[in-house]
Amino acid sequence: GQNIDQPTEMTATEGAIVQINCTYQTSGFNGLFWYQQHAGEAPTFLSYNVLDGLEEKGRFSSFLSRSKGYSYLLLKELQMKDSASYLCAVLGRGSTLGRLYFGRGTQLTVWP
């Protein structure tokens, strides 16, 4: 089976840094994605990690440790527009290539 865990909710203040964690136990692993989803909108792609380490993209960074089954998304210099749900998703392998297994999402609220 596939098990992907992330916190349900987080809050932070504008200008702060927040780290959203994701742990996974899956039968196959071919990479991990992070998506952002604003209320009433479609998820949009943020980052992809397949090798261990940190990937930085402007204010957002994503980290992966395959041996620990662990990833985090780091958001710096938080802005009000960062209030959204953040989805962690693991990419399957083999005959289900391309299939993503999603966590339930972390609702981030940024306060002024």
CA 23, CA 5: separation in Å to the nearest integer? 5
What DSSP character marks residue 95? G
**Among residues 44 and 79, whose Cβ is nearest to another protein?**
44
Angle in degrees, CA 16, 80, 44, rounded to 5: 105
Answer for which of 44, 65, 79, 109 binds another protein (CB under 8 A) is 44
What is the pattern of x (binds another protein, CB under 8 A) and - over residues 52-91? -----------------------------------x-x-x
- Residue 55 carries which side chain, given as an amino acid letter? E
Residues 7-26 binding another protein (CB under 8 A) are none
- Candidate ranges 15-23, 41-49, 60-68, 69-77; the one touching another protein (CB under 8 A): 41-49
Strand-pair category, 70-75 with 100-102 = unpaired
CA 16, CA 44: separation in Å to the nearest integer? 23
Binding site residues, another protein, CB under 8 A? 30-31, 33, 35, 41-45, 48, 50, 87, 89, 91, 96-100, 102-105
